[in-house]
Structure 1
Amino acid sequence: MAGHSKWANIKHKKGAADAKRGKIFTRLIKEITVAARMGGGDIDGNPRLRSAVASAKAENMPKDNITRAIKKGTGELEGEVYDEILYEGYGPGGVAVLVECMTDNRNRTVADIRHYFSKSNGNLGESGCVAWMFDKKGLIQVDKATMSEDELMDVALDAGAEDVVEEDEQFQVLTAPEDFDAVREAMEEAGVAMLSAEVSMVPKNTIDVTEENIAKSLMKLLDSLEDHDDVQNVHANFDIDDSLMEKLS
């Protein structure tokens, strides 16, 4: 499948710093709460909630935190009501950017997101302007140092995965959204150490960013978006050469 950007790998490396600030827990709690509100608190009967709880457990979130988030979603405990919003726009170099948000204040969130785009010489667009450039897929990342590609393919493809792709230091396992849980569970049972596992928006094709000033502006935009409290996930259809990435590090 075409279109694998480095952004998923960059986000994974950045995730360690996010965890120290509690960002990952905050995002997971929001996802669990919304999943429970939309589909009920039964993990077995709510695939989205089951996936969110699995992600929370992978990040060693305490069981009490998970339980409270579910109860807030089902209304058993008081809590904020979050709206899910998808913002779309273009960043520096014409890179398409999708921003998934959960917010209790739409006006605040859209003002902040628009400001970030404008500051980076990008622009926030209308609904649908770039979403067509992405496919919704299950995306599981595995460290290449932990197993061979053939071993991973045997497990993942037998479980129903669509593809296994080599990307920098990771393998990316791609699935149809409806097959994501089954593939992840099969990989867990096989003892595969997963760096991350989520249903994501994967770009169909990528734009090569080769100019250092554009790359700097793009990374600043994406970092600003990722650091915002209301932002759950950011997707972008770009690729950057390893030598240029080293300059930006």
Structure 2
Amino acid sequence: MKHILMIDDDRELCDLLGSWLEAEGFSLTAVHDGAEGLEAALNGDYGAIVLDMMLPGMNGLEVLRALRQSCNTPLLMLSARGEPVDRILGLELGADDYLAKPADPRELVARLRALLRRSAAGSDAPVLEVGDLRMDTASLMCWQDDELLPLTQTEALILRTLLEHAGQLVDRQSLSRQALGKPLGPYDRSLDMHISNLRRKLGSFADGRNRIQSIRGRGYLYG
């Protein structure tokens, strides 16, 4: 049974989601305060986390920033405001997905299932080695030389897909479907935000080139 942590002060939504998750074979722990939610996330074993943007104590972005320093559990962020800047900030800080409130419990459950499927997805080759990068494709842990990279699950899935096709163009739709588990909408910039985060964490090649190259209007390639 997959255990979900929900950090949200909307008790009615937590109760509703708990009923939906139980019917789908999941269990839910709900925490209604930011600081308490961070403590629960860092000390519990959860398949995924649902984090609200607006929380008492610590707000959702503060929780996410602190959480991503040592935890890469798949995370979906909620916000009642639904502003593009909220989405961008959440993705920059390491959220794997984003959903505006009021959230339909059916869509929320579907998004969580997609996150969990992506987390459990394996690969035919257990280890990928490309230049100074080495990735365990089952655990999605990646090392640059001997240093473990602090990647989120989504960043690791994108990087895995690019490394599996190193030197080859991966079109945007294929990369989104394989790594994000969804097609890109016409104004969806989530893939670009994750790529930007990856570039920052990976740094450049010795000659100054971006490790992940963007082919305008087509897609990305590593190398």
Scaled to the shorter chain, the TM-score interval is: under 0.3
Q: Give the TM-score of the pair, scaled to structure 2.
A: 0.28
